[in-house]
Structure 1
Amino acid sequence: MKAKIIAGIGIVVLVAALAFSMKPKPFDEQFESKMNDMDSYILSGDMEITKGEDVKTYALEVGYQKDEKDLFKVSLVDKELNQEQVILRNDGGVFVVTPSLNQVFKFEGDWPLNSPKPYLLQSIAEIVKSDKAEITKKDDGYLVSSKVTYPNNKNFNQEEIMFDKDANLKWIQIYNSDHAVQLKIVFNKCTYDSKMKKDYFKTPEALDSKTSTNGISEEDLPLYPVQVFDADLQKVSKMNTGAQMKHVLEYAGEKNFTVVESMRKAVPETQTVLMPGEMVDSLDVVGFYDGNHMSVIHNGVEYSVYSEELGPEEMMQVINSMQVAVMK
């Protein structure tokens, strides 16, 4: 009789252990396990970025391949202007491919893992496992909500990420402190361990000159930044260098800085330009920083900010605010 009781207890313990082992893992553990086992992915969808009263819409594609040096590719197509920009990381370095200028900019650096990116699964995984994250099970998947910090996008405050039941991305929304949407990505493709073409991450040697429309012309310049860090505009001038007209804005205050603007045109043959500075990207804007100035080419305009007082994040804020208003 005693042996039967012991056997019965053993069966109960075994059943309980099996039931516990079969219990689904929490979503954050599931997703972490999926990321650890993943060798590649492709994400694509539509991205909307709110800048002041303007909303910019892009077709987005992100590719990743695990390698000795992990490979990344981010393609952004401005739907309004029909302009594409591609950022690549491969064995040769980091490249910004700009067909509208027929140029490829090459530089060294740790992009894209040097700062969080809303569209990268690696950055999303950090949010999911964060202590700040709240995970809610929904009928059709899981909703992750968390406070966030993006160094180059200071107005990003709160993020929501929706996954389906199989941990595939459905959409992302990021809000400012007033809970107004600043960024939205709706994914139409989310493929983990994706098969990619052999040359997917290859740097192009020649670019196709694509038809595009610049939203800004020479007559619109200069644009004036909204973010000036309490500095006052002291002087506006022009410099004619022969090939280009440069517009110079000089600001003075607690933090002095100068903005130089000029139109850029495509070169006749594809060029690869070596950039000595560090790359700083802010979603749809890529800047090159060398210690006391930052340059950005966006929508056919080159903006350069020179300052001994402003840091790279602040320079990017000045340049980003050019997209908000034209003040004459």
Structure 2
Amino acid sequence: MLMIVSLVLVACGSNSKEAVLKKTSNKWTETKGYDLSAQMEIKSGAEPRTYDVNVWHTKPDFYRVAVAQQGEEDSQMIIRNEDGVFVVTPSMKKTYKFQSDWPKQNSQAYLIGALAEDLKADENAKMTETEKVYVFEAKTRNNHSKMLPYQQIFIDKKTLLPTKVAVLNEAKEEQIVITFKKISLGTSRKGTDYAVEDFSKKGTSDKGTIEGKATEEKATEGKATEGKATEEKATEGKASEESTTNKESATSDSDETSENVTENDKGETQSVTGDAQAGAEIENPEFQTHYPVLKWDNLKIIDEKTVAGVDSERRIITYDGGDKSFTVIQQSAAKNPQAIPVFAPGDPADLGFTIGAITDNSISWEKNGVSFFIATNSLSRAEMVEVASSMVNGEVK
């Protein structure tokens, strides 16, 4: 009887939360690198949006995260290499460089190392299990943590790899769902594979925007082995890439809009835009004004005006909410004709729908041909993200 009880206790201990955490943490963080592909669905907003996510990671600190919305041409990448952290938008020929320790202080649910750190950091994380899956519920640790404080991490019992992450709001409702399609542990790439210039030149319809050099190399091998038919297909793909790359699109650095806020913000903006915006063409000078949709008490518009700019008009809206006040500036975006990296203050901010830049007093991003800049002395970073995530076009105020 004692032997049976002992065996039962040992079996139970092997499936304890601590034991599972140790095994998964070791497996996810001790590997020399990994590649993964996932699908991210954002359920907040009027309609759900779905994104393809592709990640490369090589120890210790090389990352490349490519995100593209399904059904859209534009894509973005966050790249960390030996030169720093970069956000690349190939279609706009824009590359911003950050002096940031991303992703260490900004956990992302599609980075499995960050998930391991999330679980380790939350002493109150709870584990349940089904026949095939361990399910952990833990706190989030990113810019969305105030709006989306919880996450559920589903781990396959056989592989000990995550299969899904559901990010939840305060009511425990799913707002972001990441489904992992493939995770390959043990991959390792050369430092040159993370060279920013290799990605900043790609067209948005080029599959390499998401799958990078590995896809290009595979396509080249296929061309050599599959004969003339594959060669013709590759030629068609190249023509499509060139056609897409040559399309004109409008964008400008959103930080430029801070000139009318404070001198400090103006200084930051100039460091971001520099001479890269000179001569930029504006294709979309008219745009519909966007407003944040927030359930904050006493928040109201105290000033709204249009200011003539060099290339396009700026809409400046000032909100007062007592202890929560801020200014939103927006204008048509402009393309960077030089396609060279420019400095951006702060850290990359993954807003779900796009990647922006965040500091303690501002957040900026570009979306659908419009650049946005929010300046504040009273909002936290989480609150700025909440404002940015709530922006909609139209007359909703």
1:91 CA drift (Å): 0.4
Offset from partner CA, 1:209-254 (integer Å, 9 cap, x none):
434999xx66542101113743211232212213122111122231
Q: Does 1:96 align with 2:87?
A: yes
Q: Does 1:297 align with 2:366?
A: yes
State how 1:154-165 maps to structure 2 within 5 Å: 154-164=146-156, 165=158
CA distance in 1, matches of 2:343, 2:29: 35
Q: Does 1:237 align with 2:305?
A: yes
CA distance in 2, matches of 1:143, 1:265: 45
Aligned in 2, Cα 1:101/1:276: closer, same or farther, shift over 3 Å?
same
Q: Conserved in 2, the CA contact under 8 Å of 1:65 and 1:71?
A: yes
1:223 aligned residue (290, 302, 310): 290
CA distance in 1, matches of 2:30, 2:100: 26
TM-score under structure 2 normalisation? Answer: 0.69
CA distance in 1, matches of 2:295, 2:150: 25
CA distance in 2, matches of 1:105, 1:281: 14
1:50 CA drift (Å): 2.1
Q: Does 1:123 align with 2:111?
A: no
CA distance in 2, matches of 1:172, 1:256: 34
Offset from partner CA, 1:45-98 (integer Å, 9 cap, x none):
11011223331210001221113xx11111100113221100011100000001
Q: Conserved in 1, the CA contact under 8 Å of 2:87 and 2:348?
A: no
1:259 CA drift (Å): 0.8
1:125 CA drift (Å): 0.9
- Range moving further from structure 2, 157-166 or 110-119: 157-166
Q: Conserved in 2, the CA contact under 8 Å of 1:237 and 1:247?
A: yes
CA distance in 2, matches of 1:311, 1:219: 31
Whichever of the two has the greater Rg, that structure is 1
For 2:310, the aligned partner's letter is G
CA distance in 2, matches of 1:268, 1:144: 47
SS in structure 1 of the partner of residue 390 of structure 2: helix
Q: Does 1:208 align with 2:216?
A: no
Q: Conserved in 1, the CA contact under 8 Å of 2:107 and 2:118?
A: no
CA distance in 1, matches of 2:21, 2:171: 28
Q: Conserved in 2, the CA contact under 8 Å of 1:152 and 1:281?
A: no
2:66 aligned residue (75, 78, 84): 75
More strand by share: 1
In structure 1, what is the equivalent of residue 125 of structure 2?
Answer: 133
1:110 CA drift (Å): 0.7
Q: Conserved in 2, the CA contact under 8 Å of 1:150 and 1:156?
A: no
Root-mean-square deviation over aligned CA pairs: 2.9
2:58 aligned residue (60, 65, 85): 65
In structure 1, what is the equivalent of residue 30 of structure 2?
Answer: 37
State how 1:42-61 maps to structure 2 within 5 Å: 42-61=35-54
Instruction: Note the residue ranges of structure 1 that are not aligned, 5 or more in a row.
Output: 1-12
Offset from partner CA, 1:20-45 (integer Å, 9 cap, x none):
79x85732121122235311112211
1:296 CA drift (Å): 1.5
CA distance in 1, matches of 2:67, 2:331: 23
For 1:126, the aligned partner's letter is E
SS in structure 2 of the partner of residue 204 of structure 1: helix
Offset from partner CA, 1:127-156 (integer Å, 9 cap, x none):
434432222343223222334454434222
In structure 1, what is the equivalent of residue 328 of structure 2?
Answer: 259
Aligned in 2, Cα 1:248/1:208: closer, same or farther, shift over 3 Å?
same
More helix by share: 2
For 2:123, the aligned partner's letter is D
CA distance in 1, matches of 2:29, 2:307: 54
Offset from partner CA, 1:236-293 (integer Å, 9 cap, x none):
2212213122111122231332111012132334221112334433344333345533
Instruction: Note the residue ranges of structure 2 that are not aligned, 5 or more in a row.
Output: 205-243, 251-283
Q: Does 1:143 align with 2:135?
A: yes
CA distance in 1, matches of 2:56, 2:152: 22
Offset from partner CA, 1:287-324 (integer Å, 9 cap, x none):
3345533222223321111222223332222111114x
In structure 2, what is the equivalent of residue 246 of structure 1?
Answer: 314
Aligned in 2, Cα 1:240/1:186: closer, same or farther, shift over 3 Å?
same
CA distance in 2, matches of 1:248, 1:302: 12
Percent identity over paired residues = 25
Q: Does 1:110 align with 2:101?
A: yes
SS in structure 1 of the partner of residue 48 of structure 2: strand
SS in structure 1 of the partner of residue 341 of structure 2: strand
